[in-house]
Amino acid sequence: MRFKAPKGTYDVLPEKAEKWEFLEEAARSIFKIYGYRPIETPIFEATELFARGIGEATDIVQKEMYTFTDKGGRSITLRPEGTAPIVRAHEEHGMSQWPQPVKLYYAGSMFRYERPQAGRYRQFYQLGVEALGSNDPALDAEVIILLLEYCRSVGVKEMDLLISSMGCSECRSSYIEALKDFARERISKLCPDCARRFEVNPLRLFDCKNPACGEVLAGAPKMIDYLCDGCRVHFESVKGHLGKAGVGYKIDPTLVRGLDYYTRTTFEVQSGYLGAQNAIGGGGRYDGLAEELGGAPAPGIGFALGIERLAMAVEAESGKIPGEYELDVFVVAVDDSVRVDAFMLAQRLRGEGLVAEMDYLGRSIKGQLKLADKLGARFAAFVGPEELAAGLCRLKNMVTGEQEDVPLGGAPAYLADKVFEEPVK
Ligand code: AMP
* Residue 208 confidence (pLDDT): 85
**119 C-alpha to center of ligand 1: Å?**
9
Enclosing domain of residue 350: 329-418
* Residue 323 confidence (pLDDT): 84
Stretch (H or E) spanning 216 = helix 211-217
Answer with the one of 254, 287, 318 that is the final residue of a domain. Answer: 318
* Residue 14 confidence (pLDDT): 95
Ligand 1 pocket, 292 CB below 6 A? no
Query: What Cα–Cα distance (Å) separates residue 253 from each residue in 166, 167, 174, 196, 355?
Result: 9, 11, 16, 23, 52
* Residue 276 confidence (pLDDT): 85
Type of residue at 9: T
Answer with the one of 318, 346, 370 that is the final residue of a domain. Answer: 318
Question: Is residue 66 a contact partner of residue 81, using CB atoms and an 8 Å limit?
Answer: no
Same domain, 40 and 145: yes
Torsion angle of the four alpha carbons 326, 329, 330, 331, in this order, in degrees rounded to the nearest 10: -160
For residue 305, the ligand 1 atom closest to its alpha carbon is 7
Same domain, 110 and 20: yes
Type of residue at 290: A
Query: Given ligand 1 and candidates 64, 126, 289, 310, which is best to mutate, with the most ligand atoms within 8 Å of its CB?
Result: 126
* Residue 85 confidence (pLDDT): 98
**135 C-alpha to center of ligand 1: Å?**
25
* Residue 257 confidence (pLDDT): 75
Same domain, 242 and 288: yes
Residues in the chain with pLDDT values less than 50: 425
0.85 cut: is pTM over it? yes
Q: How far apart are CA 81 and CA 304, in angstroms?
A: 8
**71 C-alpha to center of ligand 1: Å?**
30
117, burial (CB in 10 Å: exposed 0-12, middle 13-18, buried 19+): exposed
Ligand 1 pocket, 279 CB below 6 A? yes
Q: What is the Rg, in whole angstroms, of the alpha carbon atoms belonging to the chain?
A: 28
Q: Is residue 49 part of a domain?
A: yes
Same domain, 273 and 412: no
For residue 269, the ligand 1 atom closest to its alpha carbon is 10
* Residue 98 confidence (pLDDT): 98
Same domain, 347 and 309: no
* Residue 422 confidence (pLDDT): 65
Query: What Cα–Cα distance (Å) separates residue 395 from each residue in 31, 273, 337, 411?
Result: 42, 46, 19, 9
* Residue 324 confidence (pLDDT): 85
Question: Is residue 166 a contact partner of residue 262, using CB atoms and an 8 Å limit?
Answer: yes
- The CATH number assigned to the domain holding 163 equals 3.30.930.10
Q: Quick one: residue 415, left, alpha or beta (phi over 0 = left, psi -120 to 50 = alpha)?
A: alpha
Q: Is residue 363 part of a domain?
A: yes
Peptide bond into 101 cis (omega under 30): yes
Question: Is residue 409 a contact partner of residue 360, using CB atoms and an 8 Å limit?
Answer: no
